[in-house]
Amino acid sequence: MKVTRCVVAAFLLAMSARGADEVIALKAARIFDGKSDAVLQNGMVLVEGDKIIDVGSNLPVPSSARVIDLGDATLCPGFMDAHTHLTNDFSGNYNERRLREIDLNVSEQAIRATVFARTTVEAGFTTVRDLGSRFVASHEFVDVALRNSINKGLIVGPRMLVATKGIGATGGHFDPTNGFRDFLFGREPDYTDGIANGPDEIRKAVRFEVKNGADVIKAAVSGGVLSLTDEVDTPQLTAAEMAALVDESHRLRKKVAVHCHGDQVAREAIEAGVDSIEHGSFMKTETLAIMKKKGTFLTPTLMATEWIMSKLDNYPLALQAKAKAAAAARSDMFRNAVKMGLRISFGTDAAVYPHGQNAKEFKLMVDLGMKPIDALKSATANDAELLGIGQKVGTLEKGKLADVIAVPGDPTLDITATERVSFVMKEGKVIRQGPPSVQKAENTASPQLADPAD
């Protein structure tokens, strides 16, 4: 009897194991593998467990496979966004948002972030690099908590590589107390808030962030649009500080992404060896040429300026002037970068605009001269390389994790198809097939979430 029960248990175990390893055949009219120069017809991706076991055009369907036929669509690797802020929402009225950030308990803001994470993955972005998460007068590492909760399967969201606070100078773009009365929060921000001055403190801030879970180091080396006490292109870290930043981060095997609009400091940052320049609005062609030589990635974040320019009334006058200056410069900079063949990583600055609209960046890139296929590569193979995870994701290849999405029609003929993702699989699990579970807020700052009425 005992033996029989054991045999039955073993049989059931084997059955359930087989169930978990069922082969899924994803079929669609076309396929883009993330690295080829063309979209191929009759695409198929075979998935077992969390991995891709075969991929190609006109493959036979194994008889045992469960077929998911996505019809007149294009299979693509899950998109990546190299510049998001999933724990924040800066998209509404600037002053109201600043007040709300102080009003709301950080725990409530963290719960809100779980919705942003879900919205993002359901829009087809299966991986994001999260470049800075802070709440004024709080030491919480909400981005680390969000990443860990997603990894543990507690909530649904994209794979996240997080930067924690981001590092910057006193009074610089990242100083969370900018514009508030002095000592309103009881003390000056320090390295535990990411605010550091001098090479030694910069090293301390890097170590502190890595200790607390940072996967990547972010720093603000120039002024920015949405900060109240600086000019948009002023240098904010010295060459010595940037050398320390890069050296310490690379020693700890972390890549360095820098927020940078100004040309002069961009050149110094590139020479210091940063891995990517974020924004880069005012970079001149000579600076782009140095970038090209060094292989530094450019993450253009066109969506950020686009959104701010479309909602100028939401921002104080000083910020409006900064946004206009950055917007006037960035289109030429981006066109030049494309012409010169720079390595371009797809990144949008999600949070500046409502989460989930990330794919609108594709059309902005194409409108400024990028080939649709290259725009698609920027959000797949290029981002995977910049993030240092190209061995696992970024292309549809045998042995890689099954992050697979589908977009209607052919995105190389109509790039806006990327905004209408119809299917999302992450690590072999279907996240979405059919309409998204969270309604995307069009042209509003997710009003149902942002309103602190209760």
Min CB(224)–Zn ion separation in Å: 8
CB neighbours (10 Å) of residue 373? 16
Of 193 and 349, which has the nearer Cβ to Zn ion? 349
Of 43 and 166, which has the nearer Cβ to Zn ion? 166
Min CB(28)–Zn ion separation in Å: 33
Of 27 and 330, which has the nearer Cβ to Zn ion? 330
| Contact between residue 139 and residue 191 where contact means Cβ atoms under 8 Å apart | no
Min CB(266)–Zn ion separation in Å: 16
Of 352 and 405, which has the nearer Cβ to Zn ion? 352
Min CB(352)–Zn ion separation in Å: 7
For residues 242 and 245, give the distance between their C-alpha atoms in angstroms, rounded to a whole number: 5
Of 258 and 438, which has the nearer Cβ to Zn ion? 258
Output the residue with the shortest Cβ distance to Zn ion.
Answer: 349
CB neighbours (10 Å) of residue 360? 19
Min CB(55)–Zn ion separation in Å: 34
Of 173 and 426, which has the nearer Cβ to Zn ion? 173
For residues 107 and 220, give the distance between their C-alpha atoms in angstroms, rounded to a whole number: 26
Min CB(38)–Zn ion separation in Å: 33
In DSSP terms, which residues pair with 424 in a beta bridge? 405, 432
| Contact between residue 127 and residue 389 where contact means Cβ atoms under 8 Å apart | yes
Identify the DSSP state of 30: E
| Contact between residue 278 and residue 266 where contact means Cβ atoms under 8 Å apart | no
* Footprint on this chain of Zn ion (rule: CB under 5 A): 349
Contacts for 298 with CB less than 8 Å, ≥ 6 apart: 276, 277, 280, 288, 291, 337, 342, 343, 344, 345
Q: Sheet with 125-130: list strands edge to edge.
A: 79-84, 125-130, 159-162
